[in-house]
Amino acid sequence: MSPKITSELLKQLRQVMKSPKYVQEPVQAYIVPSGDAHQSEYIAPCDCRRAFISGFDGSAGTAIVTEQHAAMWTDGRYFLQAAHQMDNNWTLMKMGLKDTPTQEDWLVSVLPEGSKVGVDPFIIPADQWKRMSKALRSAGHDLVPVKENLIDTIWTDCPQRPCKPLITLDLSYTGVSWRDKIVALRSKMAERKVLWFVVTALDEVAWLFNLRGSDVEYNPVFFAYAVIGMNTIRLFIDGDRMMDPAVREHLQLDSTLEPEFKIQVMPYGSILSELQAVGASLSPKEKVWLSDKASYALTEAIPKAYRYLTPYTPICIAKAVKNASETEGMRRAHIKDAVALCELFNWLEKEVPKGTVTEIIAADKAEEFRSQQKDFVELSFATISSTGPNGAIIHYKPVPETNRTLSVNEIYLLDSGAQYKDGTTDVTRTMHFGTPSAYEKECFTYVLKGHIAVSAAIFPNGTKGHLLDSFARSALWDCGLDYLHGTGHGVGSFLNVHEGPCGISYKTFADEPLEAGMIVSDEPGYYEDGSFGIRIENVVLVIPAETKYNFKNRGSLTFEPLTLVPIQTKMIDVNLLTQKEWAWVNDYHQKCREVIGAELERQGRHEALRWLIRETEPLVRVQ
């Protein structure tokens, strides 16, 4: 990795920061955040502006360029990578370290009095704008919206914004028609007495209209906004995608419909002016509902008195609770995914001893097996294929410079998943293709105990996921061990592999309570820098639990694993398991054998079936 040379680019950026062509008044600093106009976690190449200007292409970071300085804020995952990718023009601001200034404090310390700080109002979320604007104002500076993105003005070979064909999902996949989703949304709007709802997150637009796209890698979404009124539906989307007869039919664009279900298709770029028109048309007490993470530009389009902002939108919450069709789809997707992984692990067991399998080859092979499965669309995130010390890098992605060969002497960690038309998968298994050490088995078994503690937990209706996080750590804590990431995240249904509003993490307090039908991951781990990484991840479905009693008639919940891939018994120290944990492993493997075995049989994958049967032999208690 050699750093990107940015002297010329920075010079150009500093010129446009003063150019009356782009800014009303010169700005003395310009902020380049990571995100796109939809506050997406994964972004399209045309939105990688921070990577373009700095060279640093990690998933999180904010660049700020002033007349004299260029600085990059990023977190501990990326200190090394950012230092490698950026040239001497840049100062790395290591977030989380005690002496690192906040962006606001740094700006205040370097800016001349009465400066203007520019930012693209479509990229910065409204809540961040508010915080930063307040801090700058109290120091005598101004945060100002710069309409034209200044990076785009100097990015001559900027890729086009993707505009790929759409996939329509019928009722067998979605369970609920888009019309019924609109009806449900309007009833939530009526409850809160709002007249308009603005859909800004890409996965929320996709979910609402039962459409999928491929504008962003790994996430089956497409660039669009929607504005839903009590009698109107406006979809802001570009390209000839709306000419596709299947899409027109799906959205009933050419049918005679009740007016309140008639979709008005408008250009993607017209969202701001249309929203401003909505804002201008409101009477007192009429409200517009937006996510508090929506962009400053769109939030500002609605006068403050008319805004109704919430951290989670009604779509976000409805989307999280999967219906029967979605759950069945997720089950099917996980069965296919397990078939692919049985094939992969069987293949690895044969090939690894030959010394020819690298991390990249293993990742590619996993994708190859997955792509053989029905309704496979793409991967759901960049495969983490890591062996030995690379396994301890939690967000590792193999590249030629780091690519390691799998061997019978090292632990191998594979965290991977796919998008199928019927569901999204995300699974981590940690394997040893030789003989694991007693210490490796011990650590693996603690992680397994944590995984089981969450998976088998029974908890009252209304419990928030963060209250379960410590269950995953207890066995590790007992021995002085821990892992420095959350335990689980929400998973979309043929949608984003990370979605709100629920999760299992010590860091989250704003999560919504878990409900039957929600789907989350359960993925405790243990990582030893320079040596190895262990993680055991299943995707699990929240289901009602039968309990002996029923306090206050609240009802209880538990989890059902959707992921059905054997957990390597070779890595388990059976003596560390309680009776209950031991039974859980055997029950789980029995289910893997039955469900995945039947599918392997059906697909005629006999060698993988033999591997599965071998790997799901019941654990024998030694005591």
Residues that bind a second copy (CB under 8 A): 457-460, 467-471, 474, 476-482, 506, 509, 545, 547-552, 554, 556, 578
For residue 487, the minimal CB distance to a second copy (Å) is 12
424, 423, 342, 430: which is closest to 385 by C-alpha? 430
Minimum CB distance to a second copy smaller for 104 or for 442: 442
* Residue type at 511 in one-letter notation: D
For residue 578, the minimal CB distance to a second copy (Å) is 7
Q: What is the DSSP letter of 432?
A: E
Burial (0-12, 13-18, 19+ Cβ within 10 Å), 393: middle
DSSP string, 322-352: --HHHHHHHHHHHHHHHHHHHHHHHHHHHHG
For residue 511, the minimal CB distance to a second copy (Å) is 11
Q: Alpha-carbon distance 14 to 157, whole Å?
A: 19
Minimum CB distance to a second copy smaller for 459 or for 584: 459
For residue 563, the minimal CB distance to a second copy (Å) is 23
Q: Alpha-carbon distance 545 to 523, whole Å?
A: 21
- Phi, psi torsion values for 234, nearest 5 degrees: -120, 125
For residue 548, the minimal CB distance to a second copy (Å) is 5
Q: What are the structure tokens assigned to 94, written together? A: 């290591």
| Long-range Cβ pairs for the range 237-245 (8 Å, 24+) | 237/265, 237/266, 237/268, 238/161, 238/163, 238/267, 238/268, 238/269, 239/163, 241/163, 241/164, 241/165, 241/166, 241/213, 244/165, 244/166
Structural contact between residues 107 and 26, judged by C-beta atoms closer than 8 angstroms:
no
Minimum CB distance to a second copy smaller for 570 or for 580: 580
46, 381, 337, 417: which is closest to 217 by C-alpha? 381
For residue 54, the minimal CB distance to a second copy (Å) is 30
For residue 466, the minimal CB distance to a second copy (Å) is 9
Minimum CB distance to a second copy smaller for 433 or for 471: 471
For residue 571, the minimal CB distance to a second copy (Å) is 18
Which residues neighbour 464 within 8 Å (Cβ) at sequence distance 6 or greater? Answer: 502, 509, 511, 512, 513, 514
Minimum CB distance to a second copy smaller for 209 or for 584: 584
Minimum CB distance to a second copy smaller for 1 or for 458: 458
For residue 22, the minimal CB distance to a second copy (Å) is 36
The beta strand positions in 238-281, using DSSP E, are 263-266
CB burial readout 74-98, b (16+ within 10 A) else e: beebbbebbbebbeebbebbbbeee
Q: What is the DSSP letter of 512?
A: P
Q: Alpha-carbon distance 127 to 507, whole Å?
A: 19
For residue 328, the minimal CB distance to a second copy (Å) is 28
Minimum CB distance to a second copy smaller for 554 or for 606: 554
Minimum CB distance to a second copy smaller for 367 or for 511: 511
Query: Other C-beta atoms within 10 Å of 100: how many?
Result: 13
* Residue type at 523 in one-letter notation: E
Minimum CB distance to a second copy smaller for 225 or for 459: 459
Minimum CB distance to a second copy smaller for 410 or for 511: 511
Minimum CB distance to a second copy smaller for 47 or for 469: 469
Burial (0-12, 13-18, 19+ Cβ within 10 Å), 193: exposed
Minimum CB distance to a second copy smaller for 52 or for 446: 446
For residue 553, the minimal CB distance to a second copy (Å) is 10
Structural contact between residues 539 and 563, judged by C-beta atoms closer than 8 angstroms:
yes
How large is the C-alpha radius of gyration of the chain? 26
Minimum CB distance to a second copy smaller for 116 or for 449: 449
For residue 302, the minimal CB distance to a second copy (Å) is 17
Q: Alpha-carbon distance 401 to 81, whole Å?
A: 12
For residue 478, the minimal CB distance to a second copy (Å) is 5
Minimum CB distance to a second copy smaller for 467 or for 613: 467
For residue 486, the minimal CB distance to a second copy (Å) is 12
**Measured between alpha carbons, how far apart are the two ends of the chain, in Å?**
52
DSSP string, 527-573: EETTTEEEE-BEEEEEEEE--S--GGG--EEEEEE-------GGG--
Q: Alpha-carbon distance 200 to 378, whole Å?
A: 24
